Amino acid sequence: MVLSLVPLALALVSQFFFHMHPCELCIIQRVPYCVIIFFSLLAFVWPAKRVFLSSLIVIIHAFLINAGIAFYHVGVEKHWWVNQGCSSTLDMSSMEALKASLIAANGAHCDQVQFELLGISMAGWNFVYCIILTIFTVYCLVQYIISQKNEALK
Tell me the pLDDT tens digit for each residue of 87-99: 555 555 677 765 6
Question: What is the DSSP code (8-state) at residue 120?
Answer: E
Domain holding 30, by residue range, is 2-153
H-helix segments, the chain: 2-16, 24-28, 30-45, 49-77, 95-104, 122-153
- Predicted TM-score (pTM) of the model is 0.75
CA distances from 59 to 50, 68, 133, 135, 141 (A): 14, 14, 10, 11, 10
Number of structural domains (the chain) is 1
Tell me the C-alpha distance between 27 and 9, whole Å.
13
Range with the poorest average pLDDT among 22-26, 48-52, 134-138? 22-26
Are 46 and 93 in contact, with CB atoms under 8 Å apart?
no
% pLDDT > 90, the chain: 23
Q: Is the pLDDT of residue 2 over 90?
A: no
Q: Of 19, 33, 127, whose CA–CA distance to 75 is shortest?
A: 127
Q: Is the pLDDT of residue 46 over 90?
A: no
CA distances from 101 to 23, 65, 77, 89, 90 (A): 16, 31, 20, 8, 6
Q: What is the CATH number of the domain that holds 51?
A: 1.20.1550.10
pLDDT at 85: 62
Question: What is the DSSP code (8-state) at residue 18?
Answer: S
Using CA of residue 93, residue 114, residue 5, residue 56, what is the dihedral sign? Answer: positive
More confident residue, 70 or 97: 70
Tell me the C-alpha distance between 141 and 154, whole Å.
20
pLDDT at 15: 78
Mean pLDDT of the chain: 81
pLDDT at 125: 84
pLDDT per residue over 114-152, tens digit each? 766 687 788 888 999 999 999 999 998 899 888 888 877
pLDDT per residue over 97-120, tens digit each? 656 655 555 556 666 767 666 877
